[in-house]
Structure 1
Amino acid sequence: MPQRVVGLDVGSYSVKAAVIHRSFKSFELVSFYERPIHYSDVLTPEQSIVSAIQALIDDNNLVWDDIISAVPGEKVATRLITMPFGSIKKIDKTVAFEIEDYIPLDLDSVVFDYNASVLGKNLAKVMVAYASKTELAKYISLLNDAGVDPRIISAGGVDLVNLIHFGFATPDAPCAIIDIGHTKTTITICRGKKLILSRTIPIAGRLITERISSKLSIPYDEAARLKIEVGRISIEEQPESDEITTGVNSAIKEVVDSLIVHIKQTFFAYRETENEAVSGIYMSGGTSRLAGIDQYLSYVLRQNVTSIDPTMLHFYKIEHSESHPAVMNEAIAIALRGVSFGGSSGINFRSGEFAYRVGKKKIGGASRRIATIIGILAMLGFVYFGAEYCSLSNKNKEMNQEIARLVSNATGLSPEGIQSANDAIKLAEKKEREVKEKIDKLEMELGIGVLDILRNISINLPPKDKAKIDVYEFRYSGDTVVIKGVADSPTSVDEIQRQLQGTNENKTMFTNIKTGGLSKVKDGYKFDITMQVSKEGSSEQEKGKEK
C-alpha cells in the first residue's frame, strides 16, 4: 500500500496541501487542496490560520503517513558563506562560528541549518538559513493546534529546487525561480539541480492591492477586485482609458518596478560572488497570474521568463483541482522532500529542542522504510550465520522460510524463489538495478527542455552585424515555439527565418517556420515567428558540430 506524503504550504492568503502517494518503485501527485484564510476581528491571525488548516483537513478527509511544512519565507533569513575545507564534519562543527558575525541576533536565540552547493577538498560553499527560535516555536505551536506535527520543517522557498530536480530537464547552468505570492516574493537560484541561494522580498500581490486602494482612495476589497478585472502591466504604451483603469495599472507598475529593482540586485550579487550570470528564469505564485507580468519581466530583465506549470510534471496524476496551477508549486515542492534524499535542499529546522519526537506517533515515511530494511538485514545475517553454525538442516529450512516471509511482508514481493539469506540479498540488489534502469529510462524520455530550445535558438540566430533584434516574448507549448520581438529591419526578420531553417547539410531542430505580424513601431519592426520543434533535427545538428 503506498504511503501518503503531504506537503503543507501555510501562506498569508490561503493554506495549500499537496498529496503524493509514494511506493517502493515510484511516486505520484494525486491531490491538491486549497483553503482561503478568513481573517476577522473575533479571531487572532494565528487562530484564523489554525481554523483554515483544520477546515482543509476536515473538508477533504486528509490523512497522511508523513507530513512536511516550511516556515514562511518572511520569517527566515539566509547567508552565503565560503569555507576553506569541504569536510561535512568540519562544517558541522564550525558553521555556527562562521555565521555569528553575520547574524544580527544572539546565536543562542536562533535555529539554523545549511545547504552545501559546493564541496571540494579545500573549499565549501554553503547557504545558511536561520530563524528566530521564538518564531519557530510559534509556527510549530500553530501547526500543533491544528493537529499537525511535521517531521520536517524547511525554510519557505528553498524547496522550489525540487521542481527542477524532478520536473525539468535543465543543463548545469544557473537558473532562478521567482515565486510571487500574496505578501512576499521568493527568489530561489539553483545551478542545475543544486540549490545555491534563496531570498525573500516583502513585495507581492497585497502591496499592489494596497497601492491601488491608496491611489484611488477606495476600500481594499474593491481594489483587489479591480486588480483582477482590469489590472494589467504592459511594455507598450496603453491606449487612453478611463481614470480608474489608468490608476490601477499605474499602481501595479509602481510596485512591480520596485520588485524588479530587488530582483536585479539579487542577480547582480549572485554574478559578483559566483562569477556567472543567471541564464534562465521561471515564474510561479498567485501574483504571477497578473496580466502581462511575464512579458514585462522578460522585457525589463532581458531574459525569457517561463511560467512553471505543474500539470506538465511527469508525476502529476491529479484528475481535477479547483486551484490555479500557479499556486500549487510551493506545496508540491515541499511534498517532494518526502520522496527525495539527494535532490532536496536539506534544510530542516527540526533539531535540538525543536527535534521531531518520533515516539509520539508511528515512524513514517523514509524513517520507517530505513528502520525496516536495517531490521530485516540484521535478522537475515543472524538467521543465516546461526543456521550455518548449528548445521541443522531442518531448522535451517524453517528459518529460510521465515526469511522469505519477512522479505515478502516488508517489500510486497512474492516469497517464491527466496531459499536463503543470499537469495534475499540478491533479490534486493536486482530490484535496485531495475529501479535505476527505470529512472535512467525516464530521464531519457523527458524530452527536450526549454533551455535546450533557447540554446539552439541562440546558436542559430544571425550575428549582430547582420540582424539586430530584441525578443520580449517566448512561448513553448507542446512542440510549438512562438517568438515575438522587435528587429531593426524587415531584412533582419528574413535573415532570422533563414538561419533558423538551416540547410540540407546542417539542419536545425526547427521546422515549419513562419513569420507574421510585421509592423513598424517606434524602435524598429515588430514581428513574430512560429515554428515546430523537431528532436531529430537537434540530434543532427549536434552531430554536425562534433564533425
Structure 2
Amino acid sequence: MAQRILALELVGDRVRAAMAERSWNSFTLTGMYDKVRADDEGDLSGALSRLIVEAGQPDIVISALPADRVVKRILELPFKDARRLHQVVPFALEEHLPFPVDNGVVAFARVGREGDHTLVIAAMVRKTDLQQHLDLLHKAGLDPRTVTLAPLALAAMFTRAKNGNGAKPMAHLVVEGDESSTSVVLVDLAGTPRAMRSMAGGLMTSDGSPVAPDAAAPILNSVRQTLLASREETEQTEVILAGAAAAYPKVRGLLSDSLAMSVRDGGAFDYTGIFEGPVPNTGKFSSCVAMLMGELPSQPLALINFRQGEFMFRGRIRGDFSPFYTSGILAAALLAMIVFHFALGVSANLHQLSKINAQIAAVAGPVLGETDPADAKAQLQSGIIKMNKRLNLIGGNLTHSPLDTLVAVSRALPPRFPVQMADVQIDSQGLRVTGQADSFTTVDQAKEALDHSGFFGSIEVAHAKAGSDPSKVDFRMDADFKDAVPSNDRGEE
C-alpha cells in the first residue's frame, strides 16, 4: 500500500508543499502546492487547511522551521559512536553559544568522517519556537513526524542529484532565497557541508524584481564571504540558486554579477534515479522536494529532526510497521530455529534410516537379492512359510523323520499281518493311521505291537467299527512319539 508523504515549508505569508507517494520499491512526485494567507487570517493555519483540501490527507508529514530561528554549527568530534554523539553534541554545541541550551532542543546529523573523527551539523531551536510551529500545524490537523532544517536537506539533494547523473564532482554553494530570508550552504568536493548561514531579508521583492542595491549589499557580502572561506579554488565551486528567487533571471543575474561567477538554476536539476517518472522544474519548491528525499525507500537523506525528548513524535502512520519490527524479528528468529530444528531432526532420521536400510540389504541380500528394504521383512516371512511347507512335505523339520517312523511300524508288525493301511499321516507329534483289519482283535494286536516297539509313547485307538464290508473293521489309531509335546491340534474325526 502506497504512503502519501507531504513536505511543508512555511515562508512569510506563504505555505509551499510537495507531495510524493512511496511504495516498497518506488518513489513518485505527485504534486507541488503554494497557498497564501488570506487578509482576514491571523496565521497560516487557514492556508494549511486549504492546501490539505487540495492535496489530500497525507500519511507522513515533514516540515521545516524558518532557518533564521535555528542556531547551527559544524562540529568535529574525536569519535564516531552514535550513543556518545547523542550524549556529547549538546555540550559541544553549548561551547560555541553565548547562552545555555537548557531551553532549546538540540538535534544533529552526521555529514562526514575524517579518520576516527566525525563531522556533524548540530542545530538548536528554542522550545517555544518549536512548540509554536507544532501548534500551528495542529490547527490544520497535521502532526509532523520530522521537523527539520530545509537548507541542509537542499544541499544534500543537489549533491546526490549531481553525483547520480555522472557529473564531475565539484564543490557547490547553495543559495536559497525568497523575499523574506536567504540561506547559504557551502559543500566541498566530497559532499560535506563546510559552512551554513541564514539571514533575514531576501534578494527579491514580492513581484520577483531584485531588491535595491543597499538592501542587497549585506546579503551579497555574506554570500561572498562564505564562498571565500572555502578551501577549494573559486573556479572549482558551482553556485546554485534555489527557492523562489531561482525562478527570476534578474535575481540570478544580480547574484552572478556580485560573485563574478555563473549561477545555476536549482529548479532545473535532473532527478532521474531519485523519483519515478518525469519531474518538472521544481523552482521555489526545491526545499520541499529535498525534504521528501528523507523518506526515500532506499538510502534516504539523513535529515536533522527536532522532534526529540518531550517533542518526540508519538503518532501512528498508516502502513508503518516499525512498532512491530522487534516482534517480527523475534518471531522470524523463532520460526527459523523451529525450521532448523525440524530439518536437523529429519536429516538425522534420514541418516539413521539409510544405515538401517543398508543393514537390511546386507542381511536379506544373500537370500532375496536386490529388494526394497521396506518389503524385506514380508518377503522373508513369506519365504520362511514356503520353506516350512516344503520341509514338512519331506519331513525335514520333524523330530522323527517319516522314513524312521515307517521303519519302526514295519518292524513292529509281523509279516502278513491282516491289516491294510489306507492313510498314514506323520507330523511333529506322532503317527496317525487309518485303515481296515479283519477283526477287532487284530486292531488290539496292532496297538500292542506298536507299544512294544518302544518307538512310541501314548497309543490310542480313536475308533474301530464295522465297515461297509461285513468281514472288515475300519479303524483309526493315533500313536504319539515318546518325546512329543502334548497338543490339542488333533481332534476327533
**Structure 1-normalised TM-score?**
0.56
3-state SS in 1 of match to 2:102: helix
* One-letter amino acid of the counterpart of residue 327, structure 1: K
Q: Distance in 2 between matches of 1:125 and 1:380?
A: 37
Q: Does 1:182 align with 2:176?
A: no
Deviation at 1:174, TM superposition (A): 2.1
Q: Distance in 1 between matches of 2:152 and 2:71?
A: 11
Deviation at 1:173, TM superposition (A): 3.4
Q: Distance in 2 between matches of 1:131 and 1:87?
A: 24
Give CA-to-partner distance per residue, 1:296-316, whole Å, 9 cap, x none.
Answer: 322321322100125742255
3-state SS in 1 of match to 2:44: helix
Deviation at 1:254, TM superposition (A): 2.9
Partner of residue 227, structure 2: 267
3-state SS in 2 of match to 1:25: coil
Q: Does 1:327 align with 2:284?
A: yes
1:86/1:124 contact within 8 Å kept:
yes
Partner of residue 45, structure 2: 50
Partner of residue 309, structure 2: 352
Q: Does 1:88 align with 2:82?
A: yes
2:171/2:232 contact within 8 Å kept:
no
Q: 1:388 to 1:311 in 2, by over 3 A?
A: closer
Corresponding residue pairs, total: 339
Deviation at 1:122, TM superposition (A): 4.0
Within-5 A mapping of 1:473-492 = none
Note the residue ranges of structure 2 that are not aligned, 5 or more in a row: 347-493
Q: Does 1:339 align with 2:296?
A: yes
Q: 1:137 to 1:84 in 2, by over 3 A?
A: same
Give CA-to-partner distance per residue, 1:371-395, whole Å, 9 cap, x none.
Answer: 56655443333223224445798xx
Partner of residue 267, structure 2: 309
Q: Distance in 2 between matches of 1:15 and 1:325?
A: 15
1:378 alignment partner, one of 322, 330, 345: 330
Partner of residue 14, structure 1: 14
2:26/2:276 contact within 8 Å kept:
no
Give the structure with the larger helix fraction: 1
Partner of residue 155, structure 2: 161
Q: Distance in 1 between matches of 2:135 and 2:330?
A: 38
Deviation at 1:70, TM superposition (A): 1.3
Q: Distance in 2 between matches of 1:173 and 1:320?
A: 24
Deviation at 1:353, TM superposition (A): 0.7
Partner of residue 281, structure 1: 239
3-state SS in 2 of match to 1:159: helix
3-state SS in 2 of match to 1:102: coil
Q: 1:197 to 1:147 in 2, by over 3 A?
A: farther
Give the fraction of aligned pairs with identical amino acids, expressed as a percent: 19
2:101 alignment partner, one of 96, 100, 107: 107
Within-5 A mapping of 1:22-171 = 22-40=22-40, 43-44=41-42, 48-60=43-55, 62-169=56-163, 170-171=167-168
Deviation at 1:258, TM superposition (A): 2.9
Q: Does 1:362 align with 2:357?
A: no
1:75/1:135 contact within 8 Å kept:
yes
Deviation at 1:56, TM superposition (A): 0.6
3-state SS in 1 of match to 2:218: helix
2:247/2:284 contact within 8 Å kept:
no
Q: Distance in 2 between matches of 1:363 and 1:101?
A: 41
1:84/1:123 contact within 8 Å kept:
yes
Deviation at 1:350, TM superposition (A): 0.5
Q: Distance in 1 between matches of 2:245 and 2:232?
A: 31
3-state SS in 2 of match to 1:69: strand
Within-5 A mapping of 1:502-521 = none
Partner of residue 400, structure 2: none
Q: Distance in 1 between matches of 2:302 and 2:193?
A: 6
* One-letter amino acid of the counterpart of residue 204, structure 1: G
2:161/2:269 contact within 8 Å kept:
no
3-state SS in 2 of match to 1:157: helix
More RCO (CA 8 Å, sep 6+): 1
Q: Distance in 1 between matches of 2:269 and 2:96?
A: 40
Within-5 A mapping of 1:411-490 = none
Partner of residue 252, structure 1: 212
Q: 1:194 to 1:373 in 2, by over 3 A?
A: farther
3-state SS in 2 of match to 1:256: helix
3-state SS in 2 of match to 1:104: coil
Deviation at 1:52, TM superposition (A): 0.6
Q: Distance in 2 between matches of 1:203 and 1:174?
A: 26
3-state SS in 2 of match to 1:331: helix
Partner of residue 173, structure 1: 170
Give CA-to-partner distance per residue, 1:73-121, whole Å, 9 cap, x none.
Answer: 1211211233333433333222222222322332211111122333234
Within-5 A mapping of 1:223-262 = 224=206, 227-228=207-208, 231=209, 252-262=212-222
Deviation at 1:330, TM superposition (A): 1.0
Q: Distance in 2 between matches of 1:330 and 1:128?
A: 19
* One-letter amino acid of the counterpart of residue 121, structure 2: M
Q: 1:114 to 1:85 in 2, by over 3 A?
A: same
Q: Distance in 1 between matches of 2:333 and 2:92?
A: 44
Q: 1:334 to 1:164 in 2, by over 3 A?
A: same
* One-letter amino acid of the counterpart of residue 361, structure 1: R
Q: 1:295 to 1:363 in 2, by over 3 A?
A: same
Q: Distance in 1 between matches of 2:268 and 2:61?
A: 20
Q: 1:310 to 1:141 in 2, by over 3 A?
A: farther
Q: 1:381 to 1:329 in 2, by over 3 A?
A: same
2:27/2:297 contact within 8 Å kept:
no
Q: Distance in 1 between matches of 2:287 and 2:93?
A: 27
Q: Distance in 2 between matches of 1:387 and 1:291?
A: 66
* One-letter amino acid of the counterpart of residue 383, structure 1: L
Q: Distance in 2 between matches of 1:281 and 1:16?
A: 23
3-state SS in 2 of match to 1:189: strand
Deviation at 1:266, TM superposition (A): 1.9
Q: 1:319 to 1:115 in 2, by over 3 A?
A: closer
* One-letter amino acid of the counterpart of residue 306, structure 1: R
* One-letter amino acid of the counterpart of residue 61, structure 2: I
Deviation at 1:319, TM superposition (A): 8.1
1:158/1:345 contact within 8 Å kept:
no
Larger radius of gyration: 2
Partner of residue 2, structure 1: 2
1:6/1:17 contact within 8 Å kept:
yes
**Structure 2-normalised TM-score?**
0.62
Partner of residue 198, structure 2: 200
* One-letter amino acid of the counterpart of residue 52, structure 1: A
* One-letter amino acid of the counterpart of residue 316, structure 2: K
Q: Distance in 1 between matches of 2:5 and 2:194?
A: 26
1:185/1:201 contact within 8 Å kept:
yes
Q: Distance in 2 between matches of 1:86 and 1:21?
A: 34
